[in-house]
Amino acid sequence: MRKTWRFVLLVAAFGVYPALGQPEVPILTSPTNTTTGVSTSPALTWDAADGATSYDVYFGTLASLPIVATITGTSYGPGPLNQNSIYYWKVVARNSGGTSSSALWSFTTGGPAAGLQFVPLTPCRVVDTRNADGVLGGPALAGIHATRTFAIRQSPCAIPADAQAYSLNVTVVPSGPLSYLTLWPSGQGKPLVSTLNSFGGTVVANAAIVPAGTGGSVDIFASDPTQLILDINGYFAAPTVNPTRISYSFYPKTPCRVADTRGATGQFGGPGMQGNDSRDFPIPLSSCSVPAAAMAYSLNATVVPAGYLGYLTTWPTGQPRPQVSTLNSWQGKIVANAAIVPAGTNESISVFVTNPTNVILDINGYFGLPGSPNALSLYTVAPCRVADTRNASGSFGGPIMGAGTTRQFVIPASACGIPATAAGYSLNVTVVPAGPLYYLTAWPAGVSQPGVSTLNSFDGSVVANAAVVPAGTGGAINVFVTNQTHVILDINGYFAP
């Protein structure tokens, strides 16, 4: 007797459900369909499909597409691409039960990306959701307001319409555990990256260079209820001849320790700072060979407090102390945060602390007048995940980093479309340690490990910190950890000639 097989599709008003066992259809998010003027180093992003174990990415200049990658994440960088060209793409979700394909989308790239230069600002508060409800005030990020759009240019901080990226300090005051918070340019899909985490529900700050989106706005998503504070210390814009505004190029440096108040008493050493104490640090007089012509410094500030530290603030010497904060340590933990600080009187910066603490300042570069041979501009990219050691083993995946080990990451070889001409990277570094992590250091490959730290997690908590890291040999950076930890690297821009 011959058997007859019947295949049944379940049809609903909204379409055809995939057969049992297949993954759900992946939903493409960015670049949006038929959009124009897309960066030549875009990040293709899509929403995770239930049941998918991997994704086949199809990409090309013809509608009949070749498969270019099979990955487990939900973003892919195909660049660098040709200018003013149409590209097509789709994503196929895959598992052992079969496949499900997304729609076919297209986008058009724009002309050559403009290199951006830095314009410093006196630190200024842009957003504080603890204030009355408003465009730059409340409500807190929670529930239907978990994602909010902030029109940065509408703040009182004198940010012009041609600002294309912002140098921000992001602080959260969560009402409980906060799994993660993400910033990205308005008008783009939410990327698979994080800006900061607060699993302990504590006040946490982190720096971020964020490209301006639609209308100059940025979008912010919080996984859990939290108050949000945004401070700004400068912006990036295309070079222009403007007698009222001077913009500066970036000059990278191998990371170097400028000051450590735990050391012997001196201009860049002890004693430790006392409560409600201010101190000036003339950066060019340190041992780090920073020229007196530097107009702003790319720093990493670390505190080793004696107990509760309400906040630390950095600003240009000679100006009134602004009503902003650089970092906080309410639990008295060692905390680090990146900061771009304009130079003030005598090329100095000022540091204020509310409570007794030791302070450490490391430098990874400075901003100065353009025109010198090593001058670099910023090129923004859609926020993109470069590496995650929690993933399967690979060049940008696992395994977890062991205690006392160094690992090299060749950033231009990642899926984020970073060109080989990049001479420095604007990164967000996150650790998920197995226990106490004394410190992590990131530096350019090909040079000796410097005596600096990028972040610390003495209590074994998840910690993130922004870092500008110069590119080393082959475009690679090195990462060293004192103790076993997972490491996550996200990128939001790079510096190049």
Neighbours of 292 (CB within 10 A): 12
Whether 17 has a pLDDT exceeding 70, the answer reads no
Other beta carbons less than 10 A from residue 462's beta carbon: 21
377-496: CATH topology: Jelly Rolls (2.60.120)
325-349 average pLDDT score: 96
Instruction: State the average pLDDT for the chain.
Output: 92
Residue 282 has pLDDT above 80, yes or no: yes
Q: What is the pLDDT of residue 471?
A: 97
| pTM of the full structure | 0.81
Could you tell me the pLDDT band of residue 409, with boundaries at 50, 70 and 90? very high
Nearest to 60 by CA among 91, 23, 89: 89
pLDDT category at 63 given cuts 50, 70, 90 is: confident
pLDDT band of 329, cuts 50, 70, 90: very high
Predicted pLDDT at 111 = 73
Q: Kindly tell me if the per-residue pLDDT of 35 is higher than 60.
A: yes
User: What pairing do the DSSP bridges indicate for beta strands 35-38 and 217-222?
Assistant: unpaired
pLDDT tens digits along 447-496? 999 999 999 999 999 999 999 999 999 999 999 999 999 999 999 999 99
Is cis: bond before 185, omega within 30 of 0?
A: no
Domain parsing of the chain, residue ranges = 11-109, 117-237, 249-368, 377-496
Q: What is the pLDDT of residue 11?
A: 43
Instruction: Find out whether 79 and 107 touch, Cβ atoms under 8 Å.
Output: no
Around Cβ 273, how many Cβ atoms within 10 Å?
22
What CATH number was assigned to the domain covering residues 249-368? 2.60.120
**399-425 average pLDDT score:** 95
| Cβ burial, residue 112 (10 Å; 0-12/13-18/19+) | exposed
pLDDT confidence bin for 49, thresholds 50/70/90: very high
Q: Residue 2: pLDDT above 50?
A: no
pLDDT of 19 above 70: no
| Cβ(93)–Cβ(100) below 8 Å | yes
Tell me the CATH architecture of domain 117-237. Sandwich (2.60)
Q: Comparing 249-368 with 377-496, is the CATH topology the same? A: yes
Cross-strand bridge partners of residue 231: 125, 169
Q: What is the pLDDT of residue 260?
A: 98
Asked whether the beta carbons of 341 and 310 are under 8 A apart, the reply is no
Position 220 pLDDT exceeds 80: yes
Task: Give the pLDDT of residue 20.
Answer: 54
- What DSSP designation does 321 have? P
- Superfamily designation of domain 11-109: Immunoglobulins (2.60.40.10)
